[in-house]
Amino acid sequence: MEKRLSRDIAQHLIEKSSKGDAEAFSEIYFSLKDPLYGFAFRMTNTVSIAEEITQEVFLFFIENSEKYDAERGSLFSFLCGVARNKVLNYLKKSGTRLETNDLEEDLFESPSNTWGRSPIRNLLDKEFSGKLEQCVQSLPPYQKEVLLLREIEELSYEEIAAITETNIGTIKQRLYRARQALAAGLEPYLKTEEVKYELHRS
Amino acid sequence: MNCTEVKENLGVFADREADKTLKRSIRSHLENCAGCGDKLADLKKISAAVKHSAGASAPAFLDEKVLNAYRDHHLKKEVSGEIKRAGWFGIPKFTFAGGLIILAIFSALSFQLGRVSASANETRLAGSRGIPKANEKTKDTAAVKAADRTKIVEVPVIEEKIVRVPVVEIREVVKTVYLKQEKIGSYQQSRPGAANKLSGDQTARSGFRPAGDLNPQVVNKNDADQEYKIAPDLNPTVINKGETDE
């Protein structure tokens, strides 16, 4: 992934890419396409929209690569910020409320009924994964984006703040709330030793 | 630091974003609070689960779309002149190719000029040896013609070489060849004056026709046995072997 590359290397590849070096561009593209697509998909929960957003992000990069400033953050942060804007535009158009949790009740619904039958079997059936996905998707967009950027992309608070154009205090607050919501939704699973073991192995 | 404050900062602590003071306070609290320790463990498990659930991959068709868009974009930039393609030695390819073409043209011109110069030198040297220049119609030429009427010149033959010969000199050479042919004829036929009866076909094959004012002399049998000397004022040069054989 690009974030494992230094900013200098990313800058060097961008310079070559802007001069028409297709190999340099390919290197950038293949190192960033999956995390950007993953972010867009998890934020929108729609494959076609995620594909469209990912494509638009790279088209933007092709035409505006000179706008990237390595001093301000990683290339992924820069492009993730572009993806985020497109995601938020899509969510606003689709009527999603960005601040509140529309599915809060569902998020805190207890899975104990299904869990009681056979925890290991349910785990193998990916019920836990499904519930986790449901909990993540139920988060308000502002909390979800911060959680995804932190947990999946492993960005620092500073980088996340740069992408979301907020301050670190806001990032901490949103992250705290997102984790609280996940912890509440997954509490029954977390109390099970098998799940703990499985998660530990992962 | 109480449990509420610790729980609010557990995420920051788990993410290793806490400063030294906060780290120290939370660590000291966790040593004595099992409940907050469990919360921290749950937090880490959730993080691991979220990471584990990640794995969405962009579809392959997206690769082609984006890479083609990149190529199209840069093709347009090249056409519009915004990009100068890097070539060899840091010189743009088109400039490099243009330079090579110009260099080739200059090389060809220099070569041609060198040949012309060499030819001029040759002519000049020939002139110094007494051979009239090709474009020079002077009274010297007339003098050569007049003097040549009474002299027989043998033409040395060097195979497969063509040398630029002044027009006047060619005429003298033709005459000489003509005389030698007549000489051979005189051997076979033993009749003087046969040179004047050389057939039209023979003259056509030779490619030369004796000038009217340079009628070849008839050589008798005895003359043919003589060792012919090169006239000092004519200094004949090489002609094509094929011409002399005829």
pLDDT in tens, A24-75: 999 999 988 888 998 898 888 888 999 999 999 999 999 888 888 888 888 8
B-chain residue closest to A30, CA distance = B63
What residues of chain B lie within 8 A of the CB of A55, using their CB?
A: 62, 65-66, 69
Could you tell me if the ipTM is greater than 0.95? no
Check if the beta carbon of residue B235 is closer than 8 Å to that of residue B129: yes
Residues of B in contact with A184 (CB under 8 A): none
C-alpha span between A88 and A149 (Å, rounded) = 15
B46 touches A: beta carbon within 8 Å: yes
Q: Would an 8 Å CB–CB cutoff place B86 in contact with chain A?
A: yes
Contacts of A142 (CB under 8 A, 6+ apart): A98, A99, A164, A174
User: Could you tell me if B58 lies within 8 Å of chain A, comparing CB atoms?
Assistant: yes
| Contact (CB<8Å) A202/B52 | yes
For residue B102, pLDDT beyond 80? yes
The pLDDT value recorded for residue A58 is 93
Would you call B73 and A63 a contact, using CB atoms and an 8 Å cutoff?
A: yes
Question: B46 and A179: CB-CB below 8 Å?
Answer: yes
Highest mean pLDDT among A13-22, A115-124, A188-197, B196-205: A13-22
| Cβ–Cβ < 8 Å for A34, A54 | no
- Among the residues of chain A, which ranges form H helices? 7-18, 22-44, 47-64, 75-93, 104-107, 112-115, 119-124, 127-138, 141-151, 157-164, 168-185, 187-190, 193-201
The 10s digit of each residue's pLDDT in B195-211 is: 444 444 444 444 444 44
* Residue numbers in A near B46 (CB within 8 A): 179, 182-183, 186, 190
B54 min Cα distance to partner chain A (Å): 7
Asked if the Cβ–Cβ distance from B63 to A63 is below 8 Å, we say: no
Residue B68 reports pLDDT greater than 70: yes
Q: Which of A125-134, B50-59, B105-114, B161-170 has the lowest mean pLDDT?
A: B161-170
Residues 6+ apart with CB under 8 A from A143: A101, A174, A175, A177, A178, A181
Average pLDDT estimate for A131-158: 88
Indicate which of A21, A23, A134, A172 best probes the interface with B, i.e. most B CBs within 10 Å of its own CB.
A172
List of chain A residues whose C-beta atoms are within 8 Å of the C-beta of residue B59: 51
Instruction: Tell whether pTM > 0.80.
Output: no
pLDDT at B42 over 70: yes
User: Between chains, do B83 and A19 touch, taking CB under 8 Å as contact?
Assistant: yes
* A-chain residues near B56 (CB < 8 A): 34, 37-38, 41-42, 50
Asked if B50 and A172 come within 8 Å (Cβ–Cβ), the reply is no
CB nearest A132 (choices: B15, B49, B70): B49
